[in-house]
Structure 1
Amino acid sequence: MPAFIHSLIQANLLFELRTCYGKELRLLSELSLDTAPVGTTPDLAIYPLFAPDYDNRPARQSQPPLGCIEIQSQSQSLEEMVAKVKIYFQFGVRSCWVVQPAVQGIFVFEDPKRYSFFHADDTLRDTVLGLELPLAPVFA
């Protein structure tokens, strides 16, 4: 179960992204993805805006999102987070964010070996997805 800080950051990210990009993107929390070998569930998934289909509800989403966001918990290592990033890119995700609560920063991966790091009062820039997001409200 996510701890308070994890939950707070997840809610803040969802709110800020939806406020800035809600007319362009579908932002989903805790969506099960059909990644190999056993599936994954990112904290947030970023899709192009689409109308929900309430009649077709698969247990796992087979269509890769544009981006995935993972928030590192205290029990996870950076190596574990990078392993998840690799799985997401193999699935077809174009951008991956790894949030580091302890340092109030976010790694933005454009591929498994190339990333930018944004901290506290920076404006995060995801050049792959064309997103910009001030980080101060995310960590408030």
Structure 2
Amino acid sequence: MMTSFNHSFVHGRLIRLLGNIDKYEIFPELSIEINGVEHKPDISIYSKKKRIQQKDIIKMVELPLVTIEILSPTQPIQDLIDKFEIYFNAGIKSCWLVIPHAKSIVIYSSLDHYKTYSDDKVIDNLFNIELSIIDIFE
């Protein structure tokens, strides 16, 4: 899928801001394998224990702590919710849905439990991540 200006803008901002959190390693568009199927979240967050591997890993089987999907203008939201269902069923604990045109982020801890952030800060309580909405979207 082609990404738009807004998608790329927010993607870059999130990588930079999340990269400032010492306890996590941030991976853009890393292939993860779930039940034999390749998935590629826009951003995956892992505990900071990863290093460059002598033998590169083409598809990660270790699941990230958090996945982040950024809505593109031609993409139905339901496609991302369907991805979240796969991620949660596999054991991923937190999924973010970033909606650039609305300058909002929805953090899901399950498909039935989520919170929308669009004012001051976005907070993922499971992993103690707090970012400024302005820093992400402005």
Instruction: Report the TM-score when normalising by structure 1.
Output: 0.92
Residue by residue over 1:74-99, the C-alpha shift from the partner in whole angstroms, topping out at 9 and shown as x without a partner, is 11111111101111112221100000
Point out 4+ residue stretches in structure 1 off by more than 2 angstroms. none
For residues 21-58 of structure 1, the C-alpha deviation after alignment (integer angstroms, 9 at most, x for no partner) is 1x210011010010235211001000000141421322
Q: Verify: 1:113 aligned to 2:129, yes or no.
A: no
**Over aligned residues, Cα RMSD in angstroms?**
1.2
Q: How many residues align?
A: 137
**1:123 equivalent in structure 2:** 121
1:71-122 CA-partner distances (Å, limit 9, x unpaired): 0111111111110111111222110000011211000001121100001x32
1:41-52 equivalences in 2 (<5 Å): 41-52=40-51
Aligned-pair identity in percent equals 28
The structure-2 alpha-carbon separation of the partners of 1:37 and 1:80, relative to structure 1 and needing over 3 Å to count, comes to farther
SS of aligned partner of 1:54 = coil
- Deviation, 1:17, is 1.1
Partner of 1:86: 85
Unaligned runs of 5+ residues in structure 2 are: none
Secondary structure in structure 1 of the residue aligned to 2:26: strand
For 1:24, the aligned partner's letter is K
- 2:34 paired with 1:32: no
**When the two structures are superposed, what TM-score results if normalisation uses the length of structure 2?**
0.93
Question: 1:139 matched to which residue of 2?
Answer: 137
